[in-house]
Amino acid sequence: MNKLVVVGLVVAVVAAVAAVPLFKARAAESSMPTVGQVAPTFTLPSQKGTPISLTQYRGKWVVLYFYPKDMTSGCTIEAHKFQEALPQFEAKNAVILGVSVDTVDSHKKFCTKDGLTFHLLADPDHKVVSAYGSLGGFAGITFANRNTFLIDPQGKIARVWVKVVPADSASEVLAAIP
């Protein structure tokens, strides 16, 4: 076997082994809220730069979905599905809030490009993503894991979906709202 190939394999194995503990440590930093628990409160800026607080939606169902990155294929599919179903969510007294670690400017571009009218919230400091046990990462890149929380009108976690499928998320959440 060529020395260059062996060196390349060794480097790849060392990199893979080193990345695993980093990912596990990040995931262990925060625990995910469970059904029945009061939802962690927050205030984050929307794509318009205006602060959005969970408490302002008391009395409504809140769909709080975390996604990895603006303008990527899975995240775009998921956002479009929520946008398409927005009138049905509104008919059930529900609001949709998407959260990622992207910036307000990135969210603004995503909403403009894809015609999104619900709030996308910027959490570049990872405070809310961490509070909901949804901070992830790989190879030194930090992102929000694709998890969704349904919060009832009293502010408690009603349902939790982890590792959701982007194309199915909106319809599954809509079906769970009475």
The domain in which residue 90 lies consists of 31-176
User: pTM for the whole thing?
Assistant: 0.82
- Say if 3 falls within a structural domain: no
- Say if 115 falls within a structural domain: yes
Q: Are 175 and 159 in contact (CB under 8 A)?
A: no
Q: Which residues are marked as active site? A: 75
* Beta strand pairing call for 94-100 and 61-66: parallel
- Say if 102 falls within a structural domain: yes
- Say if 172 falls within a structural domain: yes
Q: Is the pLDDT of residue 19 over 60?
A: no
- Say if 171 falls within a structural domain: yes
Which distant-in-sequence residues (6+ apart) come within 8 Å of 85 by Cβ?
170, 171, 174
Give residue for tokens 């408490």: 55
- Say if 94 falls within a structural domain: yes
pLDDT on residue 30 = 55
Mean pLDDT of the chain: 86
CB count within 10 Å of CB 5 equals 9
Provide the Cα torsion 33, 34, 36, 37; round to 10°. Answer: -20
Residues 166 and 135: their CA atoms lie apart, in Å, by: 18
CATH code for position 64: 3.40.30.10
pLDDT in tens, 84-95: 999 999 999 999
- Say if 159 falls within a structural domain: yes
